[in-house]
Structure 1
Amino acid sequence: MTVFFRFLTILRVFLRYRLDELIPKQHLPLRARLLLLPCSLFPASSLSRGERLRRACEELGPIFVKFGQLLSTRPDLVATDIVMELNYLQDRVAPFDSQEFRRIVESALGASVDDIFSEYDQEPLASASVAQVHTATLKNGKAVVIKAVRPNIENIIAQDVALLLKLAHLLQKYSDDGRRLRPVEIVEDYRNTIFDELNLQKEAANASQLRRNFANSTLLYVPEVYWEYTRSNVMVMERIYGIPVTDVAALKAQNTNMKKLAERGVEIFFTQVFDHNFFHADMHPGNIFVSKVNPELPQYMAVDMAIVGSLTREDQYYLARNLLAMFRRDYRQVAELHVQSGWVPAHVRVDEFEAAIRTVCEPIFEKPLKDISFGHVLLNLFRTARRFDMEVQPQLVLLQKTLLNIEGLGRQLYPDLDLWTTAHPFLERWLKKRFHPKTLWGELKRYGPEWMEKFPLIPQLIFNGLEQLQNVGQLAPELHKTAQQLQKRSNRSTGRYWLGGAVVAVALTLAHPAVFGAIKIYLASLNATSILVLTIGFGLAAVLIKKS
């Protein structure tokens, strides 16, 4: 019943601000136009369309505010007047009462703000969808900001997520596209993300990790967290003084190298995703500043690390190889990698998928960023995905959202940025480094103790496998099916399956040529580290067998 009332609230706000007028009805099917027809019975709003959308998002709460924030970074898809209004959602959401803010801080820290801070500003510095920020000075003279979660926000978010889940279940149940897009998994992932954002201790831990990753870096500065004054709903952090990344006039006034600034933004993104595997996943312009020091070599400054993301090693690998293959226009490899990673079903014809990818990607190369709309590219890829049953990968949703933010930011800073030229060398270096002997040796030292614990089991497992050779002919079809399943699953947890796969490979190679294809599928899914492990494992097994 609560979800139903929330739905009525959303409908009331929709009608109050006549958001139906923002929908281009000429592109809608007749049924949808008939459904919107009763909206015309309500009085028109005197506000501009951008202000109506912005106020509706504010009134409906955090999830809708974040949607508005994302739209504000896409001037290629959204009209300029709407973007200008939605920019207010970055850090200028209507604040809540300052006395309530003070009460929350004092209750969390167990002391009066006058006892903790030598100075405390009653007026908010910034107000966002989930939290509000005030400035202060510690007794030791350090300038800080105090962040507190909005009161009673959990209930609103819980209602919105419950409503989204119901809609996702309906979409997944009654729509073929819904089943392929896996909306239930996406909403559940988003539920975890948004509730994590309410825990400021988790945000503080993320900030500390990100600060450590970029320690002594000239690319990105992350402010220090003061843990003694941080709780689940209150966080105190070093205050930074920078220029908002959207204030292009101020950046140009201090002679900032805008080309270098845009290129460094791309470098930061790829460094976080591939080198650190820990990326800031809420990089809308309200969270990004530029240091006033050294405008010729500008340094970014980041705040609000509530939402971060990471990928599995396998997703990292396939993503890097996919991007490089796209840069090289090797569409055949792009298609093959999608099948190998399990992102596209194994039954898909690679040559047809290759042709479809070429059609989408070829027009975007060798163009400046201002001439490329990744929004339109994504729409074309969506249509391609429908043809080939490609499922949405929930683990990549945060990354896709971050990419949209990065594109919007780059478009505002330096429209002539050549994203391909900037990213291509980085990915080349990363892949070479991944397979460098020094990297493999580091992997061996890190996981060696765990592997050594398992090595003594290998001879017995091999002997057990050899004892089953007489039955392997009957099992060949089932093993082939199992190998295909292993291929898909091993992309998520290769370390769990390499030992069993090695035993199956040895036994089947000796027993029955009909299952060689299954072995080939399994081995194709292994990365260099896994192959190194298999080699060492068989070597030690041979030594142990010989000694026994």
Structure 2
Amino acid sequence: MSRIARLSIIFYTAWRFNLFGLICDNLKPGVRKTLLGLLSSTSPSQLARGERIRLALEALGPIFVKFGQVLSTRRDLLPDDVSNELAKLQDQVPPFSNEQSKAIIEAALGQPIEHTFSLFDATPVASASVAQVHFGVLRETDSHPEWANQEVAIKVLRPGILPVIESDLALMHDLACIVEKISEDGRRLKPREVVAEFDSYLHDELDLMREAANASQLRRNFADSDKLMIPEMIWDLCYTNVIVMERMYGISIGKTKELRAAGVDFKKLAVDGVEIFFTQVFEYGFFHADMHPGNILVSLDPKTFGRYISLDFGIVGNLSEFDKNYLAQNFLAFFNRDYRRVAELHIESGWVPENTRLEELEGAVRTVCEPYFDRPLKDISLGIVLMRLFQTSRRFKVEIQPQLTLLQKTLLNVEGLGRQLDPDLDLWKTAKPILERWVSQQLGWRGLVDGLKTEAPNWAKILPTLPRLLAESLERSSRKDSRPELDLLKQLLFEERRKRRQLWGSLLFLGGFLLGALFVLARIHSI
């Protein structure tokens, strides 16, 4: 479809669902407002604005639906009614043909499908905008005898998806520029930045090798866990458009009746889910960021009964040590009603302008947080608190980082899921020990020792070179501080005394440093 034809469809859809009225409301009086007002008045849709936006995105197809899903995570930018409506978007896409799927797999493998799989189910078990999934059974080969009768899941990238995505993304960028130019509110919502963020997410999902690597990292992080299972990737059968992984058996966490009938302990399941999430975030800084019920199963196998199974790793979040420290201290300060510390953390993070008045920000944070302490802790939504803090930060011109909005979206999912399983779930009681332990490990004596262990190899290289470096420094200083106006004898005496003082000072410093280093190494060795 040509770009002009696609743009015409977008224009018609915007008129049909009266999106022009939303833009018109944010324009100053003038020709643009008059024209858009006329278009709006002829639109057949008079629904609430959030519902109109959601229906328009659904009508425009899977790429726009996925954009709406990503946009729903930006609660720091959107009104609550729009965010809540966009969160309802479901990406149900008809599967592509069995022949296409089989041809893509054979092209990736470089051989007929029967040579690799003793059984291949051509009917997909799941289909989305980017890929679909089939089940199969591997065939034993000379190089891989362990493949014999191994049940697997095969994920196949949708054919021809890249040109469609590129075309729609180009139109989204153009529309974002238009909205930003003609609408004051549009400039505040930063549509170009949001589209760029979506562009990045979507292109990451198009590389299935990236998804396989994400899964492998999560599996390694939870290798010894008795709470979470991640499918193993069959690396010899993984490509950019096809990946093959271990098949996992379980029931979707959304099927609560079936899980209850099977005897699953919902209270334990809820607590385990919270612990898994906070462990991913604060211990590893690497978390599964698409945790809706379709991607989460619960094992009913007697050996792994009640464990979580995670699927679909196209979207993951990464947090730096700075991000983790910022979040952990924010949560703990909130729990202790230390609003001044919350305000200090916002300023220390560098995301609030340096000239922000601490007392003013502290008062704003208190206004957000204090109402929650009239409720039992189990009734406090950590995700909502984080969202409100982000919204407050916007008032102080803070630039919210994409990784934190992704975290907030995932936290809301986890929290909602946990309370669906156990309405009495006390998120603070579950999460606080994890946060306190992490802060202790990072900021306490254990954190110091761990840091020294990490830096020990670097210091082992640096220590032997210190005498030479000090000598070179003294020589440079001597040359720099020479006094040509003194006679030769006075100059020699002056330089000799100065060198002697510097040498003794350097030796004392070096001796103290070496003693300290020996003490630290002895301490590390004894741990």
- Work out whether the TM-score is over 0.5: yes
AA aligned to 2:132 is Q
Give the CA deviation at 1:5: 5.5
Question: Are the counterparts in 2 of residues 14 and 20 from structure 1 also a CA contact under 8 Å?
Answer: yes
Report 1:309-348 matches (<5 A). 309-348=317-356
Question: Are the counterparts in 2 of residues 54 and 85 from structure 1 also a CA contact under 8 Å?
Answer: no
1:401-426: CA deviation from partner (whole Å, max 9, x where unpaired): 32233233234333332222221111
Q: Paired residue for 1:539?
A: 513
Counterparts of 2:309 and 2:289 in 1: how far apart (Å)?
A: 15
Q: Paired residue for 2:422?
A: 414
Q: Paired residue for 1:251?
A: 259
Counterparts of 1:338 and 1:85 in 2: how far apart (Å)?
A: 31
Counterparts of 1:67 and 1:436 in 2: how far apart (Å)?
A: 43
Q: Given the alignment of the two structures, is residue 194 of structure 1 paired with residue 168 of structure 2, yes or no?
A: no
Question: Are the counterparts in 1 of residues 54 and 86 from structure 2 also a CA contact under 8 Å?
Answer: no
Q: Paired residue for 2:392?
A: 384
* DSSP-derived class of the 2:137 partner: strand
Question: Are the counterparts in 2 of residues 224 and 237 from structure 1 also a CA contact under 8 Å?
Answer: yes
AA aligned to 1:539 is F
Shifted more, 176-185 versus 383-392: the winner is 176-185
* DSSP-derived class of the 2:450 partner: helix
Q: Paired residue for 1:506?
A: none
Shifted more, 297-306 versus 205-214: the winner is 297-306
Q: Paired residue for 2:123?
A: 123
CA distance change for structure 1 residues 116 and 415 in 2, over 3 Å: closer, same or farther?
Answer: same
Match 1:147 to one of 142, 155, 169: 155
Q: Paired residue for 2:62?
A: 61
Counterparts of 1:296 and 1:540 in 2: how far apart (Å)?
A: 52
Give the CA deviation at 1:427: 0.3
Give the CA deviation at 1:448: 2.9
CA distance change for structure 1 residues 170 and 138 in 2, over 3 Å: closer, same or farther?
Answer: same
CA distance change for structure 1 residues 427 and 216 in 2, over 3 Å: closer, same or farther?
Answer: same
Question: Are the counterparts in 2 of residues 144 and 237 from structure 1 also a CA contact under 8 Å?
Answer: yes
Q: Given the alignment of the two structures, is residue 102 of structure 1 paired with residue 76 of structure 2, yes or no?
A: no
CA distance change for structure 1 residues 33 and 340 in 2, over 3 Å: closer, same or farther?
Answer: farther
Report 1:5-404 matches (<5 A). 6-15=6-15, 18=17, 35=36, 38-39=39-40, 41=42, 53=54, 56-57=57-58, 59-65=60-66, 67-68=68-69, 86-87=89-90, 89=91, 92-139=92-139, 140-166=148-174, 184-293=192-301, 298-365=306-373, 367=375, 380-381=388-389, 383-404=391-412
Counterparts of 1:53 and 1:452 in 2: how far apart (Å)?
A: 59
CA distance change for structure 1 residues 50 and 300 in 2, over 3 Å: closer, same or farther?
Answer: farther
Counterparts of 1:432 and 1:536 in 2: how far apart (Å)?
A: 32
Question: Are the counterparts in 2 of residues 63 and 157 from structure 1 also a CA contact under 8 Å?
Answer: no
Counterparts of 1:331 and 1:465 in 2: how far apart (Å)?
A: 51
Counterparts of 1:415 and 1:281 in 2: how far apart (Å)?
A: 23
Question: Are the counterparts in 2 of residues 180 and 389 from structure 1 also a CA contact under 8 Å?
Answer: no
Question: Are the counterparts in 1 of residues 24 and 37 from structure 2 also a CA contact under 8 Å?
Answer: no
Q: Given the alignment of the two structures, is residue 434 of structure 1 paired with residue 442 of structure 2, yes or no?
A: yes
* DSSP-derived class of the 2:314 partner: coil
Give the CA deviation at 1:165: 3.8
Shifted more, 146-155 versus 56-65: the winner is 56-65
Question: Are the counterparts in 2 of residues 177 and 386 from structure 1 also a CA contact under 8 Å?
Answer: no
Q: Paired residue for 1:487?
A: none
CA distance change for structure 1 residues 263 and 35 in 2, over 3 Å: closer, same or farther?
Answer: farther
Counterparts of 2:53 and 2:197 in 1: how far apart (Å)?
A: 29
What CA RMSD, in Å, does the superposition of the two structures yield over aligned residues?
4.5
Counterparts of 1:183 and 1:29 in 2: how far apart (Å)?
A: 16
Counterparts of 1:10 and 1:454 in 2: how far apart (Å)?
A: 62
Stretches of structure 1 lacking an aligned partner (at least 5 in a row): 471-534, 544-548
* TM-score under structure 2 length normalisation: 0.75
Stretches of structure 2 lacking an aligned partner (at least 5 in a row): 140-147, 482-508, 518-527
Give the CA deviation at 1:348: 0.5
Counterparts of 1:305 and 1:250 in 2: how far apart (Å)?
A: 25
Question: Are the counterparts in 2 of residues 262 and 413 from structure 1 also a CA contact under 8 Å?
Answer: yes
Counterparts of 2:252 and 2:210 in 1: how far apart (Å)?
A: 25
Question: Are the counterparts in 2 of residues 246 and 285 from structure 1 also a CA contact under 8 Å?
Answer: yes
* DSSP-derived class of the 1:145 partner: strand
Counterparts of 1:24 and 1:217 in 2: how far apart (Å)?
A: 49
AA aligned to 1:122 is A
Question: Are the counterparts in 2 of residues 291 and 301 from structure 1 also a CA contact under 8 Å?
Answer: yes
Give the CA deviation at 1:34: 8.1
* DSSP-derived class of the 1:320 partner: helix
Give the CA deviation at 1:63: 4.7
Greater Rg by CA: 2
Counterparts of 2:245 and 2:425 in 1: how far apart (Å)?
A: 33
Give the CA deviation at 1:376: 6.2
AA aligned to 2:296 is I
CA distance change for structure 1 residues 85 and 176 in 2, over 3 Å: closer, same or farther?
Answer: closer
Question: Are the counterparts in 1 of residues 26 and 185 from structure 2 also a CA contact under 8 Å?
Answer: no
Give the CA deviation at 1:62: 3.0
* TM-score under structure 1 length normalisation: 0.72
Give the CA deviation at 1:126: 0.4
Question: Are the counterparts in 1 of residues 26 and 184 from structure 2 also a CA contact under 8 Å?
Answer: no
AA aligned to 2:107 is S
